[in-house]
Structure 1
């Protein structure tokens, strides 16, 4: 068995590269690994959440457009935590407040309905996209954190050269390998975060578009009913 080959294999293993690294590089690596774990946890949970939300929103809207009694539908869906249900509830509540008096300001009611449901849509989109900023941060910062670990590792390699007064590959290689490993971990954390951020942003935009379409349709329904009010 070739002892040189075994030494190189051990040196190039991720565990060995971590254990041999300077404490600063170790902190960088640990931070990036934790960021990667956090990123994947967000990716898995957010993906399931967006998929479930869009499916349940589509079902809610199909049921809504089939109903003939908006008040009964509102009572049945009062406890729903769907974005569509909350936008719907905001419209119903504003409708009741605006039409409670003896005289009805039709133009003012229409404007308040649009404002109320628009605010509800904005709040739902903000709540849904709450964790996307974490993905954006990891995607933009992780490569630079890994680069910091790389620079630090290369500086350590130059220090080793000066101390040993020897510029052979055996002296330089370990520090450079550790440094490059830090960059690799940074990219491993950043690339999925960037891809997921772009994908989920598209998904949130589609949810927002769906909520706006529903709000516009509901606003039109209430506007027609407003014309029938005496």
Structure 2
């Protein structure tokens, strides 16, 4: 059996078998990628929550639909601005359709509701992108680490058989380097699990704001818009 350099944890890793090192390298990549997603999503969700909350409040307090759309349109990268734009676009298509005003009035609610639902779904799909990788890390990392441990222990026992010695000094280094992969797997999985659940809760709060805005938008259109004097979003 190879002797592990006497330099602590890093020496243990450098002295590990190629299979164990490959598992550790994979876990390291998973950890770096998951932390990148965590930081990015925290920033994105906090910004989306702030924009959605402030935008919904401004829209609700506006005196009319046009003023409300103008208020949320100040931030072009806001989810509410894109949802409002989708709603206005759908309304204008219906307004320009070759049909009677009475028929348009019957269709406006369903048409807008579908357009707003699609816009909300599109925003949520964009926001939730890459979250599945965190779930994958949370579920797979411990098993990947366990695989590295099993591989390392197999190698350790094989080396014991070749050396024909079961002394603790011979067995312990191989087993310890094998167990480190399980520990690293847990180090990858635990933060990913916590972050995934926390980010899902944040996304749920954003979703609530988006759905509330879509409902408020539809209600205002039904109350305020008359054919021939439709909503106009300035800018």
TM norm. shorter chain > 0.5: yes
Query: Does 1:19 pair with 2:14?
Result: yes
Aligned-residue offset at 1:70:
3.5
Distance 2:186 2:128 in 1: 24
Give the alignment partner of residue 46 of structure 1, picking from 41, 48, 58: 41
Residues 34-65 of structure 1: CA deviation (Å, up to 9, x unaligned): 21111111111211111111112112222222
Aligned partner of 1:91 in structure 2 is: 87
Give the alignment partner of residue 64 of structure 1, picking from 59, 71, 95: 59
Report how many residues are paired: 222
TM-score by length of 1: 0.89
Aligned-residue offset at 1:73:
5.4
TM-score by length of 2: 0.87
Paired residues for 1:163-174 under 5 Å: 163-174=162-173
Aligned partner of 1:219 in structure 2 is: 218
Aligned partner of 1:155 in structure 2 is: 154
Aligned-residue offset at 1:78:
7.4
Distance 1:51 1:58 in 2: 11
Distance 1:202 1:214 in 2: 19
Distance verdict in 2 for CA 1:154–1:163, change over 3 Å:
same
Aligned-residue offset at 1:74:
4.1
Which ranges of structure 1 fall in alignment gaps of 5 or more residues? Answer: 1-6
Aligned-residue offset at 1:229:
4.2
After superposition, the CA RMSD in angstroms is 2.2
Aligned partner of 1:116 in structure 2 is: 115
CA contact 1:25–1:179 (8 Å) conserved in 2 = yes
Distance 1:107 1:9 in 2: 79
Distance verdict in 2 for CA 1:58–1:35, change over 3 Å:
same
